[in-house]
Amino acid sequence: MNLRERMQPDAAVDWLRVREDFPILRRSIHGKPLVYLDSANTAQKPRQVIEAVDRFYREHNANVSRAVHQLGEEATALYEGARDKLAAFLGASHRDEIVLTSGTTMATNLVAYSYALPRLKAGDAIVVTTMEHHANIVPWQLVCGRAGAHLKVAPITESGELVVEKFVELLTPEVKLAGVVHVSNVLGTVNPVKRLARECRKRGIPLLVDGSQAAPHLALDVKSIGCDFYVITGHKMCGPTGTGALWARRELLETMPPFFGGGEMIREVKFSGTTFADPPHKFEAGTPNTAGFAGLAAAVDYLQGIGMANIAARERELLDCATRRLNDVPGLRIIGHAPDKAAVISFLIDGVHAHDLATLLDQEGVAVRSGHHCAHPLMQFYGVAATCRVSLAFWNTEAEIDALVEAISRARELLA
Ligand code: PLP
């Protein structure tokens, strides 16, 4: 199926039946049915993923690429199978462009230390935006600090959109790399990554796109985006924690030295020197989270089975419904109004601290996140210490949005 087809919602999905795939959604919290509205933090897991991890340990457990016995071959096939599935999911040209990592943070650090640091010199710069997660700020600060380079920050508007012209203005000759979040974990803003990639490419500046919040919700195609690095994290896309991937153009991976040394990433080791395996294996030192990747492969199958276009369309409905309902709550202010927005709603209520609200909502069984969402600079931009954040997934229902709004009303009465 090509990207155009993958982006078209098709058959009517039975969302209530889909919901039954998630055992945890049957739980009660403080005597109330769980209403899980914290998917941007971590997604819940369908039984297909749980069973894949369980099956790995029951039937296939062995170390990868080290044993010639049957179990070793099965474990290796599952691990390498995850690479194939992620390559197809992201639209990579080749499976060798996928480095399996413990998540986005690890993938971005790999690019920071292995790609950026050797190229940075004093006076150089890396461009990011005001709406980045700390995982797309701190690794660059660390390598800039070592090289005497600095960060340049592209501004956003009050409504939470990137000012693209300003981003482009920052792409001057001393810039060695740009890093942009595809979908903001706080604002829900979907950034125009294709356009940003085109501008970077014109100037020969590699672009890393942080796809942590995009991969669970949108049909992706790294080739059509035109970026150079794309990083994802498994636990936000219904997969296990401790899994994720870096996609990078093969020619870039070939220029990058290994980041970690150890077993599995070598061709030959002598005390006089070591030669390394080809990418991607030279970046995958040590025993990986094989069971996790068996689970992530199942998660990719699961999401694709529903269809990313169907997921995006359903989440759009839920976002519209939740936005309408929350806008009716007196004193509630939503932060982030980009027209192209994923199902993430950050908000504040006059006179109510975000943590107090989240604590009271939890008493009603409603799980939302409160805090800075690992985006201090964005909080500083809006002049707030914390927000409450509702993040929806395809398994949520309109009834849960009602439950959220009722729980907020009760909490407001208690906190007023
Ligand atoms: N980038 C964004 C936009 C995120 O939302 C997150 C997680 O919240 C991360 C990066 C970091 O992901 P991980 O901790 O799984 O590496």
For 50-304, the fitting CATH number among 3.40.1350.10, 3.40.50.300, 2.60.40.1260, 3.40.640.10 is 3.40.640.10
pTM for this entry: 0.96
Task: 384-387: list long-range contacts, CB under 8 Å, 24+ apart.
Answer: 384/335, 384/348, 386/353, 386/354, 386/355, 387/186, 387/335, 387/346, 387/347, 387/348, 387/354
Domain 3-44+308-415 sits in which CATH superfamily?
A: Aspartate Aminotransferase, domain 1 (3.90.1150.10)
- Provide the percentage of residues in the chain whose pLDDT is more than 70: 97
pLDDT above 70: residue 6: no
Taking only the tens place, the pLDDT of each residue in 127-173 is: 999 999 999 999 999 999 999 999 999 999 999 999 999 999 999 99
Pinpoint the residues of the chain covered by CATH 3.90.1150.10.
3-44+308-415
| Residue 306, pLDDT above cutoff 70 | yes
In angstroms, the CA 411 to CA 416 distance is: 8
Active-site residue set:
374
HSE-CB of 275 using CA atoms within 13 angstroms: 3
Ligand 1 centroid to residue 240 C-alpha, Å: 14
How far is residue 245's CA from residue 297's CA, in Å, rounded to a whole number?
12
**Residues with a CB atom less than 6 Å from ligand 1:** 103-105, 133, 135-136, 181, 185, 210, 212-213, 233, 235, 374
- Which residue type sits at 269? V
Q: Where are the beta strands (DSSP E) in 249-297?
A: 266-270, 273-276
In tens, the pLDDT along 309-347 reads: 999 999 999 999 999 999 999 999 999 999 999 999 999
For residues 165-189, average pLDDT? 98
Tens digit of each residue's pLDDT (9 = 90 or more) over 96-136? 999 999 999 999 999 999 999 999 999 999 999 999 999 99
Number of neighbours of residue 359 by Cβ within 10 angstroms: 12
Tell me the CA–centroid distance for residue 209 and ligand 1, in Å. Answer: 12
Q: Which of 65-74, 221-230, 371-380 has the highest mean pLDDT?
A: 221-230
Note the pLDDT tens digit of each residue in 223-265.
999 999 999 999 999 999 999 999 999 999 999 999 999 988 8
pLDDT for the residue numbered 11? 63
Helices (H), 211-333: 222-225, 250-255, 290-306, 308-327
pLDDT the model gives residue 254? 96
Nearest Cα residue to atom 6 of ligand 1: 212
In this predicted model, what pLDDT tens digit does every residue of 82-95 receive, in sequence order?
Answer: 999 999 999 999 99
